[in-house]
Amino acid sequence: MPQSGKHVTLKDLAAHAGVSRSTVSLVLQESPLVARHTRERVMAAARALGYVYNRGAATLRSARTATIGVVVHDIANPFFGAMVAGIDETLQNADYVSFLAGTGDSPARQQRLVQRLREQRIDALLLCPAENTPDALINTINTWGLPCIEVMRHVGEMPRGHYVGADIRTGLGRAVAHLVDQGHHRIALLTGAGHSSSDRERIAGYQHAMHEAGLAPDIRTGRNELTRCAGLERTLEIMRETSPPTALICHNDLMALGALLALARLNLTPGVDCAVIGIDDSDEAALSEPALCSLATHPHAIGQAAAELALACIAAPDSAPRRIVLDTSLRIRASADPSLYRLQESS
Amino acid sequence: MPQSGKHVTLKDLAAHAGVSRSTVSLVLQESPLVARHTRERVMAAARALGYVYNRGAATLRSARTATIGVVVHDIANPFFGAMVAGIDETLQNADYVSFLAGTGDSPARQQRLVQRLREQRIDALLLCPAENTPDALINTINTWGLPCIEVMRHVGEMPRGHYVGADIRTGLGRAVAHLVDQGHHRIALLTGAGHSSSDRERIAGYQHAMHEAGLAPDIRTGRNELTRCAGLERTLEIMRETSPPTALICHNDLMALGALLALARLNLTPGVDCAVIGIDDSDEAALSEPALCSLATHPHAIGQAAAELALACIAAPDSAPRRIVLDTSLRIRASADPSLYRLQESS
DNA sequence: GAAGCGTTTTGGATCGATCCAAATGCGACT
DNA sequence: AGTCGCATTTGGATCGATCCAAAACGCTTC
């Protein structure tokens, strides 16, 4: 059926269906103005000729691309994998399609990418900004009139535009409260170098929670590595101190899993000798040995929310900045609750 | 600096620089035809007016979008995360940008996505096809003249067009050989339902390797779940048999890690009572307890190779189908080699 | 049969770039 | 001075859709 000749255009359709180009255009836009039988004739022609809508051409006139850009700092990170899946799901339902690109935390590459995407005339941008992104970037994007939603991270102390993230602060409150319930007093926070907004958020939330509980904060910033390996090494160091903490809250699940490994190597029992709580509740958490207690951040839901906000911004530009902060939930498991220890055995 | 008025077009640039539109166009395409001082004047005008190239408009005339589509069946899968990172890296160097979308293994959604991307006039398509993709799809895409590269999976018995994947077959040969070296005879393969081409590839490679070694194959297909959980449950079942295998090769690392958990629950020592080998060599593998022996498939490199092939296809359309099969390497670790057991302790 | 009115349809201009054949400028050579 | 060659530059047509104001149509109503 498909023509092997050149491209079939709307003009060809018009000729084949015996109507004008304008009418065909209306049909393609599903306009209610056109009579039912005309629509059907045009649709039939489209099928017969193997017509393919040319979105680029439409864009040129109408300035809508049905396209959004997603820029994250680390594509390979499973958290972003899940987030991107959420974004994709929502966008597909709206018949949007998205560009995905990674910056590897380089502001320069980020700058180039944003420019590149602007040339593609994306309708909106979901940005999980690289560290040390200059404040100017967000302003610049705003002056372009390009709706931009910061996700998970934000440049500057407070998000200045639209923002979607997880309520780490309250979540850390829950984590600390749980540990206090379990009788812990020496609760340490293991995090990155403290430069990224995700570090700062964790530190602030932790400090607040510790203060509420009347405990002295014990913040262990590390290098910027947030990997299993970093968690392992850092924990080995810490647990060899003379009076080490009895509970560790880690920047993410990877580090927490590393911490569990470290405890195992030192022949300490996680959850008994030292409680460990991660952040993200990734797939690994529930299935590690022992199961890792983790603060669930729901990346999929965050992705969905961000995509929905983007669509809303496109529909109503220049709406007031919205800040969507999704609730987190503490998944209590053996690594921070000895009473659950090995219960799963019976499965 | 940026104009707050309407859009700055190439025509405005021409006026500002005192040359014709054609000349400006040549400058933007970095054509060598234009005199140096003219180029500089135009560039200066572009900066002064805050000009943004409109790729959509250019596309309309020149039929090149500098855009490719990436369609995978499971976006959230870390393997694809790494692969997409490789693709992205290569494309960014070529100043291409990519659409990413997931099918969730639904041929219908895949069909819609491919159509949608075609409307965007992508220059090439990287496709990791959904299971049960109709053979017709690849043919159809080919008649469209859209360069398509199948990645990791392929529809039909053999890839009919361009293909990039990992040489699982030879890799499994190495895995089996290693296990035989270690004195194993009852070596089982744990895989999915056997419907996807990745299942079939593993089964074929395993059968071949076992045959070479003069051993009887023992294939344990499961449901389609390829998760840690599936690996755990399946292994619990298998190891409770009267004479269970002494070595398990698992469909991927997730399942293998699940298998390790199962062994731990049964108080069996992985690598001693039962060897376990995974496939992918994901980050988790090296750091699990015990370290997981795994067949590295290098998703990042596969992504790069696929993207490079795509660029090559764009440069030279209708070139003969190429099949790039990247080598794998067996990462021998404690889970399949007791002599390495707990050596890492000393780290 | 003309006027009035709501529903459909239409032609031409337009979006912002590229392509191409032809024009221009300029120095060298006869 | 006239001609040729080379490096630059140019106008107009074009890509494939949308937008808009106006035309055509069909029906009632006077």
Instruction: Please report, for chain B, the start and end positions of each structural domain, with discontinuous segments joined by +.
Output: 10-53, 67-166+299-327, 168-297+330-346
CA neighbor of A168 nearest in space, from A326, A61, A277 = A326
Minimal Cα distance from A93: which residue of B? B109
Q: What per-residue confidence (pLDDT) applies to A327?
A: 96
List all nucleotides in chain C with at least one atom under 7 A from a protein Cβ. Answer: 7-12, 14-21
The residue whose two tokens read 């399942």 is B255
Strand partners, B188: B218, B248
Contacts for A151 with CB less than 8 Å, ≥ 6 apart: A72, A83, A126, A127, A128, A163, A164, A165, A302, A303, A306
Residue A207 in this model has a pLDDT that exceeds 80: yes
Confidence bin at B177 (pLDDT 50/70/90): very high
Residue A119 in this model has a pLDDT that exceeds 90: yes
Confidence bin at B343 (pLDDT 50/70/90): very low
Å between B121 CA and C25 C1'?
41
Measure the CA angle with vertex B111, ends B107 and B117; round to 5°: 140
Å between A25 CA and C6 C1'?
22
The highest-level CATH class for domain B67-166+299-327 is: alpha beta
Pick the CATH number of A10-53 from 3.40.50.300, 3.60.15.10, 3.40.640.10, 1.10.260.40: 1.10.260.40
Å between B14 CA and D1 C1'?
37
DSSP secondary structure letter of residue B321 = P
Minimal Cα distance from B267: which residue of A? A345
Strand partners, B69: B99, B125
- Measured CA to CA, the distance from residue A204 to residue B272 in angstroms comes to 47
Contacts of A55 in chain B (CB under 8 A): 119-121
Buried/exposed code over B199-213 (b: 16+ C-beta within 10 A; e: otherwise): bebbbebbebbbeeb
- Check CB contact under 8 Å for A2 and B143: yes
Residue A346 in this model has a pLDDT that exceeds 50: no
Contacts of B85 in chain A (CB under 8 A): 75-76, 102
Q: What per-residue confidence (pLDDT) applies to B344?
A: 46
Residue B135 in this model has a pLDDT that exceeds 50: yes
Shortest distance between the Cα of A280 and any Cα of chain B, in A, equals 14
| Residues written for chain B | 347
By percentage, how much of chain A surpasses pLDDT 90? Answer: 78
Question: In the predicted model, what is the mean pLDDT of residues B308-316?
Answer: 95
Looking at per-residue confidence, does A347 or A321 come out higher? Answer: A321
Residue by residue, DSSP assigns A303-344 as HHHHHHHHHHHHHSTTPPP-EEEE--EEE--GGG-GGGTTGG
- pTM value is 0.90
Å between B26 CA and C19 C1'?
11
Q: In what order do the strands lie in the sheet with A293-296?
A: A219-221, A187-191, A247-250, A275-280, A293-296, A329-331
- Among A8-12, A297-301, B129-133, B281-285, the range scoring the smallest mean pLDDT is B281-285
- Check CB contact under 8 Å for A56 and B52: no
Q: Could you tell me the CA-to-CA distances from A45 to A17, A27, A39 in Å, in that order?
A: 6, 12, 10
- Check CB contact under 8 Å for B92 and A75: no
Contacts for B124 with CB less than 8 Å, ≥ 6 apart: B68, B69, B146, B147, B148, B149, B310, B311, B313, B314
Nucleotide nearest to A28 (CA to C1'): D17
- Check CB contact under 8 Å for B75 and A85: yes
Q: What per-residue confidence (pLDDT) applies to A63?
A: 83
- Among A274-283, A298-307, B227-236, the range scoring the smallest mean pLDDT is B227-236
Q: Do domains B10-53 and B168-297+330-346 have the same CATH topology?
A: no
Backbone torsions φ then ψ of B332, nearest 5 degrees: -80, 120
Q: What is the dihedral of CA A202, A203, A209, A212, to 10 degrees?
A: -160
- Evaluate whether B76 touches A78 at the Cβ level (below 8 Å): yes
Backbone torsions φ then ψ of B226, nearest 5 degrees: -120, 40
The highest-level CATH class for domain B168-297+330-346 is: alpha beta
